[in-house]
Amino acid sequence: MKLEDWSPEATAIEFVSKEDWPERRAKLPEPTAHLADLVAFEAMPGTLFSAPDVEGAPRVFFGAEGREPKSRDPFFAGKLATALPKGLYRFAEGAEAPEQRALAFLLSSYSFSRYKARKNEAPRLCAPQGVDRARIERIASAVAMGRDLINTPTNDMGPEALAEAALALGAKYGAECRVIVGDALLVENFPLIHAVGRAAAQAPRLVEFERGPEDGMRVTLVGKGVCFDTGGLDIKPSSAMQLMKKDMGGAATALSLASMLLDSDAPVRLRVLIPIVENSISAQAFRTSDIYRSRKGLTVEVGNTDAEGRLILADALAYASETPSDLLFDFATLTGAARVALGPEIPPFYTGDDALADEIATKAAASNDPVWRMPLWDNYDSGLDGKISDLVNVTSGPFAGSITAALFLRRFVADPMRWAHFDVYCWNPSTKPGRPEGGDVQAARLLYDLIEARAEQGKATS
């Protein structure tokens, strides 16, 4: 995802609101004002009006949102990416929030074209003068990579392909990479990852890569990589399987964030762990009531084979915790309960650190990457206690499913004060500015801002 070099020859885009339009219209040359009246342009949000300026240079007026901050979408300018005809454009001098608007344009320009070519040539945007062009492109490219991974169906994005994509990203930046496959998971003590993925045609695996200065801030990312989730022997109805190619959205999010950090060369010692499986059905499938000893040593009884994501994350988080991190984040398309509570646009997150939670919320608002803190409610934790095992992977009641899933994961984290769990959805049901319909990564942009700021602050004070 790239911006073009700035050019004065590009068509200028002027942002105008309905409230401002009468004053702006009054300053237009009479022929231009008359033409605007003929086409009934009133600067309604999302509308376009093309007319040359007084010197004959091309110009587009774009109806922006109103002045009231609460009614404004910071990515509204992304509509330009699908509304404008092909050509080269630039923001007019003095445009507000040019960096955010340029990012919105690139995010809205995304099109998944692996199986069907894009019909029309897309408009191109010049990099606004004075912005950090490299950073905008870095974020947009990383998000596009994550979207591609999620949108690709499982016949082309199974465990082997997802592992290859993760290893390729690590290798691109010279990271130390390794992958543990199949029965080697048992040898290296990842029994839960092995149990969940052993029924599939492609063996389960764990990808790990690490890069960065040894004295940098230590950040570990863990992403759930369930390439398809049938529900296992507790099989899902067909309607619930339609989007299960996106059940590796947590892995895609972790890799997207990793791409941003690696490309920026931030002073971070980055470690990425991606447990990868397909939750399939065969004679080798794990069963309800099976009990497995996890990497941490805790025994886990399977109450439902459709709660498999937390099992593979448990081994990965336990492994991550064996090496202390300054920050440990995990991402998983984990529960339908999260969607019932907050819908598809706002992932809940959980952490034991109030200061970290406040920082996450602040970065989320600033980057237009919304999340919402949910409580690690200790009173619900006992519902995970097993009768003949240390714990079960689901509670017996129908309530607080996202919270109890987070509490399950917390049992495998050595230091919950440095950890945050994101129960992401990774899918846009419909197209909105900056968020095309289909696969998407959530929380990666806000955490890039957070990690980058913390790392730079630590570098400045060292």
In the listed set 109, 124, 145, which residue is the last one of a domain according to the structure?
109
Flag whether 266 is in a domain. Answer: yes
Phi-psi map region of 343: left, alpha, beta (phi>0 left; psi -120 to 50 alpha) = left
Query: Are 418 and 317 in a shared domain?
Result: yes
Which pLDDT score is estimated for 457? 84
In tens, the pLDDT along 7-33 reads 999 999 999 999 999 998 998 888 889
Which pLDDT score is estimated for 429? 97
The rounded mean pLDDT for the chain is 95
Flag whether 121 is in a domain. Answer: no
In tens, the pLDDT along 354-407 reads 999 999 999 999 999 999 999 999 999 999 999 999 999 999 999 999 999 999
Q: What is the mean pLDDT of residues 125-135?
A: 96
In tens, the pLDDT along 404-428 reads 999 999 999 999 999 999 999 999 9
Q: What is the mean pLDDT of residues 223-230?
A: 98
Q: H or E element: which one contains 33?
A: helix 30-38
Q: What is the mean pLDDT of residues 430-440?
A: 97
Flag whether 275 is in a domain. Answer: yes
Which pLDDT score is estimated for 56? 75
Hey, which residues are catalytic here?
236, 310
Interatomic CA distance for residues 14 and 336, integer angstroms? 42
In tens, the pLDDT along 267-281 reads 999 999 999 999 999
Lowest mean pLDDT among 160-174, 175-189, 447-461: 447-461
Flag whether 321 is in a domain. Answer: yes
CATH code: domain of residue 27: 3.40.220.10
Flag whether 382 is in a domain. Answer: yes
* 461 — pLDDT class (breaks 50, 70, 90): low
Query: Are 77 and 170 in a shared domain?
Result: no
Flag whether 6 is in a domain. Answer: no
Query: Are 42 and 157 in a shared domain?
Result: no
Q: What is the mean pLDDT of residues 179-186?
A: 98
Q: Answer whether 300's CB lies under 8 Å from 389's CB.
A: yes
* Residue 352 in tokens: 């034991």
Query: Are 195 and 274 in a shared domain?
Result: yes
Domain hosting residue 259, numbered range: 137-461
Query: Are 208 and 337 in a shared domain?
Result: yes
pLDDT at 149 over 60: yes
Domain count, the chain: 2
Q: What is the mean pLDDT of residues 106-130?
A: 94
In the listed set 64, 94, 109, which residue is the last one of a domain according to the structure?
109
Query: Are 428 and 293 in a shared domain?
Result: yes
Query: 64 in helix, strand or coil?
Result: coil
CATH code: domain of residue 366: 3.40.630.10
pLDDT at 196 over 60: yes
Flag whether 117 is in a domain. Answer: no
DSSP letter at 126 equals: B
Query: Are 91 and 171 in a shared domain?
Result: no
Q: Answer whether 233's CB lies under 8 Å from 199's CB.
A: no
Q: What is the mean pLDDT of residues 135-153?
A: 98
Q: pLDDT over 70 for what percent of the chain?
A: 98
Query: Are 57 and 196 in a shared domain?
Result: no
pTM strictly above 0.85: yes
Per-residue burial over 182-213, b = 16 or more CB atoms within 10 Å of its CB, e = otherwise: eeebeeeebbbbbbbbbbbebbbbbbbbbbbe
Query: Are 149 and 105 in a shared domain?
Result: no
Query: Are 88 and 154 in a shared domain?
Result: no
Flag whether 122 is in a domain. Answer: no
Query: Are 376 and 258 in a shared domain?
Result: yes
Which pLDDT score is estimated for 383? 97
Interatomic CA distance for residues 161 and 173, integer angstroms? 19
Query: Are 100 and 158 in a shared domain?
Result: no
Q: Answer whether 106's CB lies under 8 Å from 140's CB.
A: yes
Task: Name the one residue in this structure whose structure tokens are 């290893």.
Answer: 167
